[in-house]
Amino acid sequence: MDIFILTIMLIIIVIVLAYKAIKILRPYEKTVVERFGKYQRTVESGLIFIIPFIESIRKVDLREQVVDVPPQEVITKDNTIVVVDCVIFYEVTDPFNAVYNVVNFYQAITKLAQTNLRNIIGDLELDQTLTSREMISSHLRKVLDEATDKWRTRVVRVEIQRIEPPKDIVDAMSKQMKAERMTRAAILEAEGYKESEIKRAEGDKQAAILESEGRAKAIKKVADAQKYEEISIAEGQAKATIDVYEAIHAGILPMIY
């Protein structure tokens, strides 16, 4: 009986030691192995073996990860308070530095992002802030990437989710946009009316010209007809005179004195 219990205990000890000694790392993971709390080595993904109770591991995920920076109030250059938040996408490039050079990466990069957002937007006026999201994102990504370089992490991109001015300014901007739309509509309507009047005037002018040309042609035709009639009469009279003259010379008609 004692041998059976001892065997069971040995099996359990072996299983525990195997569980502690054998680790599996996924393709997107690396691990830092420590021996008595001191860095020993960095291990790639796959099946790894460590010395139970002597060595320990600290896994590092190498996939692209997301940090959602909480909203914060920021003052612009023209002393307007806006609420800004952003999302940071990053990836670890060196597990050793990511583990040993920063205590809480998530908190550290969040504070860095908030601080630098205040600095960047503080140099911009409200109108610039609202229309320069891409510039703010690009600038913030560059600053964060440089600041986190000692942790061997790469900031892939930064997306500004929201830039929200105070409600009274939003209402004023809405009214301004509405007024601008109404002004543009009035201008378009006036231009349309002007264009319509111009076309109508040009049409009336063309019609008057065509009418005048038609009248001129009609008068010309009448004048040509009258002229032709007069010429025909004159030619007839001339021919009659010539015939009379020839008849007199021929002795057909007596001369009249």
pLDDT confidence bin for 167, thresholds 50/70/90: confident
> Which of 5-9, 46-50, 103-107, 141-145 has the highest mean predicted lDDT (pLDDT)?
141-145
Does residue 40 contact residue 85 with C-beta atoms inside 8 Å?
no
Mean of all residue pLDDT scores within the chain: 82
What residues does 85 pair with on adjacent strands?
162
Site of tokens 């739309």: 181
Measured CA to CA, the distance from residue 150 to residue 145 in angstroms comes to 10
Comparison of pLDDT for 257 and 101, the residue scoring more:
101
Q: What is the pLDDT of residue 187?
A: 82
Q: Is the pLDDT of residue 254 over 60?
A: no
- pLDDT tens, 65-112? 999 999 998 998 888 889 999 999 999 999 999 899 988 888 999 999
Banded pLDDT at 210 (limits 50, 70, 90): confident
pLDDT in tens, 53-69: 888 899 999 999 999 99
What domains lie within the chain, and their CATH numbers?
2-60 (no CATH), 65-165 (3.30.479.30)
Higher-scoring residue by pLDDT: 233, 1? 233
- Is the pLDDT confidence value at 40 over 50? yes
CA of residue 82 relative to chain centroid, distance: 22
